[in-house]
Chain A
Amino acid sequence: MAQNEDDDYEYRIKEGDHIVLKRGDVYKAVKIQRKKKVIFEKQWILLDNVVGHLYSTTFEIASGGTLQPKEDKETESSTDVKVAGTDNRNIVDDGKSQKLTRDDIETMKEQGLKNEEIIQQLIDNSSTFTNKTEYAQDKYIKKKKKKYENTVTVLKPTCRILAMMYHGREPGKICHLRYDTLAQMLTLGNIHAGSKVLVFETCAGLVLGAIMERMGGYGSVIQMYPGGGPVRAGVECFGFPAHFHDMLHEFPICHVNALLAGTLDTGAKDPTAEEKDLNAAAEQEQVQPEAERQEGSPADERMGTNTGDDAGQDQEKLEREKRQEAKAQERKVKLEEKRRKLAAAAALLEASNADGLVIASHFHPCSVLLGLIKFLSPSRPFVVFSQFKETLIECYTKLKEQGGTVNLMLTDTWLRHYQVLPDRTHPLLLMSGGGGYLLSGTTVATDHSEPAGSPPAEEPAPKRQKVKDSEG
């Protein structure tokens, strides 16, 4: 048995873990902290008890919000009813079929009755239930079960779950990027271990996290961020191991022009000049916009707690004290750290040999795409998401004018879910209206950037013209 427990170690829920709560089709990502109450589906729950259990365990919510692992999983047959009608010709909606009142149900809940018992009570007190068809009865029970369900399942976060969660809970935060669209992006972008990927996203870090998951800690991801600092709330939900963060770099998009022009300062060109950095710190402070510092530091803190896990809170307190003692020193160190990061990211970008580009933001994608595509090697995929087709039409047109890409495709996907039940199979009544649009393509060498030693046949002008037609 002892060996078994060792095997299970990595599947056990630990304090400080990022987890996802699930009930029905509703998900919520939380971090496990002792004595911290979280609200899920209008219920306060305390997660202390889940620590040590295996992932994917279903818990029952007891009074006071504590969780008890659910013992018997399949109790479906408890509400078995044999009598059923054949059609609804004699069922009249008089609003009086249910004899229990709202108050009765509330009292039952307060008495701590199990949800199966409440449902049985509802059935027993429904005058029309036995006249309903077998299917209608089934539907009735399912509906009530959903309403009085009192369980929650604890899941290990994955891209699938988080993408579905964000789409269900906060589509506005991820630019209405539907999960099947995200799936297309990862595939069309050929995201895989060992590559160097550029990402520009304002999807709370979901897209970034999805890319990091697919890269498994191998290779590098450079997050181009607008404004004061990168948003990574979604990345944290994935609960990546610490070493995943080694492959993650960030670069402010406001420095892209400077980088392309070769005028980017901040020691990027000369990362060894660390004494200079200290002197430049004061200057730097003025150069950096105010917002950058304010937003930048909490982001750093969050990263800190993420890797520090359980000791996070204590550390934070200590840090606060330290900061008061040596605020200036701290800031200098931070700036230095920031500059080193910037220099590292700039060095990665400068080679202009990135393997992939993924854009998903609420900014107009056109300028972002045209700016960042310059950092890609030839023969590499890129994919741009937009909630609106019009912005991608513009991107498409500009790319065609500019050249340097092939296989341009403007697409969207339809996603349809099915109810599959004996004699009752059909598409679900509701489907998502739209999950956004994608523009994807592959970079190719432009005539100018072709290697100088490029051997034979730099084709004569007339020939070149002839083939231009065929390019489309």
Chain B
Amino acid sequence: MSFIEYSDLIQDGDVAIVHLGHNSVTAVKVHHGAQTQTRFGVIRHSTDLIGQRYGSKVTCSKGGWVHVLHPTPELWTVALPHRTQILYTTDIAMVTMMLELKPGSVVCESGTGSGSLSHAILRTIAPTGHLHTVEFHQQRAEKVVEEFKEHRVDHLVTVRNQDVCKDGFGVTGVADAVFLDIPSPWEAVGHAKAAMKKHGGRLCSFSPCIEQVQRTCQALTDRGFEEVRTLEVLLRVHNVRPVTLQLPDFGPDSSSSFSQAPEEAPPSAAPNPAPLKIKTTTLPREMPGHTGYLTFATKPRT
């Protein structure tokens, strides 16, 4: 396994995603002799995981079973240990497309945070691209380096432990795209510009508050960025379910009673009309209404 390449069989040292049912997943580091507790019982790695095919059903000690899935950035996003607030797949998808990421892209990112977006970027720019990511929090930077190694994507990424607003990205003139998810992105716009290729590139800044967006847009315009656009994407999840709706009883129908009464069963037994069953979707009572504003811009050739 690797986050950038599918393989069929689970091997020692892999990170596997255990699907516990109903959108509940957890990431497991596969090791000979190791065990993982789930609410369905114990999974023994040596016998239950290693050598099995990804996607198999694994029976746990209590007789319950789970599915073991190949890791993807999307599954990792819902399974990863949070060290910060993270970006979710809906925003990540938009960022990836609007930054025009593809195999070979060179990307700068800050902060690295919990690495949710980083994994998605690495998946998209592999096998020839590179990610330069900057995280000013030392422990978080160290932790994410460790994860990249475990996930076998460390050859595609450089983590720098520095303050992007003061020290920039540690590279100049190489990036096709820059992503900023920091409290004061306007202070990093200059560094972002310096990190980007001479012939131009794309920038994105993620901010929860509109005041941050305003200052960022101003900074982008001042620095000569073009096509400055701010947008917001929201995901709606529809629950598919059958719904049964009663029909009211209008009482005996005088016009049809003449024709009906003689042929059919006793009128007194006429039950309420049969309820109607429809297949529909319902929306959750509450849903995430805001994650952050995404501001995109193009750096022109300089």
Contacts and interface: CB of A to CB of B under 8 A. Distances in A.
Contacts of A380: 6, 55, 70
B26 interface: no
Interface stretch (B60-68, B131-139, B158-166): B60-68
Contacts of A180: 93-94, 97, 233
Max count, chain A CB within 10 A of own CB: residue among B67, B94, B235: B67
A406 B66 CA distance: 11
B65 A381 contact: no
A193 B124 CA distance: 7
Given A214-B124, A470-B64, A447 B57 contact: yes
B54 A379 contact: yes
Interface string A192-229: 11110000000000000000011111100000000000
A184 B279 CA distance: 25
B8 to A, nearest CB: 7
Nearest to B89: A187
Interface in A405-438: 406-407, 409-418, 420, 422, 425, 437
B74 A381 contact: yes
Interface of B: 4-6, 8, 19-23, 40, 47-48, 51-57, 59, 63-65, 67-70, 72-74, 89-90, 92-94, 96-98, 100, 102-104, 120, 123-124, 126-128, 199-200, 210, 213-214, 217-218, 228-240, 279-281, 293, 295, 298, 300-301
Interface string A149-163: 000000000111001
Contacts of B237: 409-411
A212 to B, nearest CB: 10
B236 A414 contact: yes
Interface residues of A, number: 75
Contact of B6 (A195, A454, A459): A195
B119 to A, nearest CB: 11
B230 A417 contact: yes
Contact of A378 (B56, B217, B228): B56
A389 B281 contact: yes
B51 to A, nearest CB: 8
A444 B55 contact: yes
A454 B57 CA distance: 10
A8 B199 CA distance: 8
A450 B93 contact: no
24 contacts: A56-B200, A159-B100, A160-B100, A183-B96, A187-B74, A190-B74, A192-B126, A193-B4, A215-B103, A377-B8, A378-B53, A379-B54, A379-B68, A410-B238, A414-B234, A416-B232, A417-B229, A418-B231, A420-B214, A422-B214, A422-B218, A425-B214, A459-B65, A470-B64
In the A-B complex, the 9 residue pairs with the closest CB atoms: A378-B55, A216-B103, A379-B55, A463-B63, A187-B93, A183-B97, A379-B54, A418-B230, A414-B234
A160 B97 contact: yes
Nearest to A394: B279
A179 B47 CA distance: 45
Interface in A228-257: none
B64 A466 contact: yes
